[in-house]
Amino acid sequence: MASHHPPPPPPEYRRPPARTTISSLGDDQLREIFLRLPDLRSLGYAAFTCRAFLGAVRSSRAFRRRFRELHAPPLLALFLTPCMHTVPAFPSSRRPSAGFSPLRDHVAASDSEWGLDFRDIAYDDGFICIENRSTKQQALYNPQTAALILRPKEDHDMPYGSSLEFHTLSPGEDQRPSRVVCVRHDYSWAWVRVAVLSSDTMEWQILPDTATPLPEGSRHADSTVVDGFICWEFVSLNEVSLSEYILVLNTDTFQFSRIDLPPPLRVVYPKFKIGQTKDRNLCIVIEKDCTLFLWICTAGDDGVQRFALHSTFPLHARFMEVTSCSVEDKFSVQLMTVFNGFVYLSICPWKNFRDKYRSPEWFMSFSLETGELNQHFKNRKRIGCPVHPYLAWPPLVDNTVSLFLCLTMVLRIPFYVWSVDGVL
């Protein structure tokens, strides 16, 4: 009699694994995804999609700091000197009227005694001229760096040829209050005096006179404000005007130091830009033949600060890819500013000189850390005058407010302390 084995049991049904949805991701995973978004606007759209996304962004200061490090601050607009015309960097559907200018509109609608003066066009480097409507006192102001240069009238008790420079320092991660630094100097810059206004006390702290480490025969050219430093470029007044020195004011210690430029940067009419890397190192960026050269200031074995060549970035192939131009085209490259490890620049391809100012112009940012080239917007033809960028405003103080803060508080400075023999 044949034995019959029972049939095998049916295979056990296995449920398919649960699908992983974005709502099931943890905050750390969400933040890793958000770091790959292209810009701040995309992060804002993502954060406000739901409460979980917003919570992931708001709960981590380290994430927000890292996002700022990896993404260039948005290019809000360009302002053109000397007439203060403004080119908004918005899509055409959201572009304001052709006459859009935040500073111009603010001053026109303000009851302040100070207004824009468009008669004086002898200024550059982002500075515009403003004038007191009553006293006709003039000053120069840079909306992007919040720097103000004021030459007091002769009735003030100050040495002849003296100037006052005001620089606004925004609060940082350490929650330090915003400050205004005033630097008094004459044409020679042999001696300077510094005063500091803190937003929490609204009182001036005036420091003693300080001798600058500059040789005779130097002339001040440009000034730059970076995180922790105020820098002035100086040129020699020999047979040929060459950039030779950088005078640096440390805004933590308020000590001056001089950094000699290396020979490759000692050129006539230099086109380099002073800025700062991600790790707060002072740097200089210069462009030649579609290549960016990064010089970083470091201390040598003798303790002396020097600029040393750190990196080179050939960008000709990248420029061709962005503009879709041919290998025969040449590029005009204009450096605008170096901000927090990003170089803001414009490029314009052209074949012959006649078409040089008819070609479109691309405005971009380049990361000195990652080497990423990011296009902000394209203008239909090259802008034929000095261009200066509006970037994101400081976190607590916008530039129009800081301008009128400087102009108002300058009236509270006891001018007698600026005299050469003044005693605090």
- How do the domains of the chain map onto residue ranges? 23-68, 72-98+280-301+310-390, 112-270+397-424
Segment 75-91 shows an average pLDDT of: 59
Say whether pLDDT at 295 is over 90: yes
**Percentage of the residues of the chain whose pLDDT score is greater than 70:** 68
User: What is the structure's pLDDT at 233?
Assistant: 87
Q: How confident is the model at residue 343 (pLDDT cuts 50, 70, 90)?
A: very high
Q: Of 117-121, 132-136, 412-416, where does mean pLDDT reach its minimum?
A: 412-416
Q: In this predicted model, what pLDDT tens digit does every residue of 136-148 receive, in sequence order?
A: 777 777 766 667 7
User: What is the structure's pLDDT at 249?
Assistant: 92
Q: How confident is the model at residue 235 (pLDDT cuts 50, 70, 90)?
A: confident
Residue 280: closest CA among 251, 260, 247, 254: 251
CA–CA gap between residue 130 and residue 396 (Å, rounded): 24
Q: What is the 3-state secondary structure (H, E, C) of the chain?
A: CCCCCCCCCCCCCCCCCCCCCHHHCCHHHHHHHHCCCCCHHHHHHHHCCCHHHHHHHHCCHHHHHHHHHHCCCCCCEEEECCCCEEEECCCHHHCCCCCCCHHHHHHHHCCCCEEECCCCCCCCCCCEEEEECCCCCEEEEECCCCEEEECCCCCCCCCCCCEEEEEEECCCCCCCCCEEEEEEECCCCCEEEEEEEECCCCCEEECCCEECCCCCCEEEEEEEEECCEEEEEEEECCCCCCEEEEEEEECCCCCEEEEECCHHHCCCCCCCEEEECCCCCEEEEEEECCEEEEEEEEECCCCCEEEEEEEEEECHHHHHHHHCCCCCCEEEEEEEEEECCEEEEEEEEECCHHHCCCCCEEEEEEECCCCCEEEEEEECCCCCCCEEEECCCCCCCCHHHHHHHHHHHHHHCCHHHHCCCCCC
Segment 314-338 shows an average pLDDT of: 89
Q: In this predicted model, what pLDDT tens digit does every residue of 398-421 receive, in sequence order?
A: 344 344 444 444 444 443 333 333
Longest dimension (CA), the chain: 131
With both helix axes pointing from N to C terminus, report the angle between 40-47 and 27-34 in degrees, rounded to the nearest 10.
150
Say whether pLDDT at 94 is over 60: no
Q: What average pLDDT does the structure give for the chain? A: 75
Say whether pLDDT at 363 is over 80: yes
Q: How confident is the model at residue 17 (pLDDT cuts 50, 70, 90)?
A: low
Q: Which amino acid is it at 192? A: V
User: What is the structure's pLDDT at 387?
Assistant: 74
Q: Of 124-128, 197-201, 202-206, 365-369, where does mean pLDDT reach its minimum?
A: 124-128
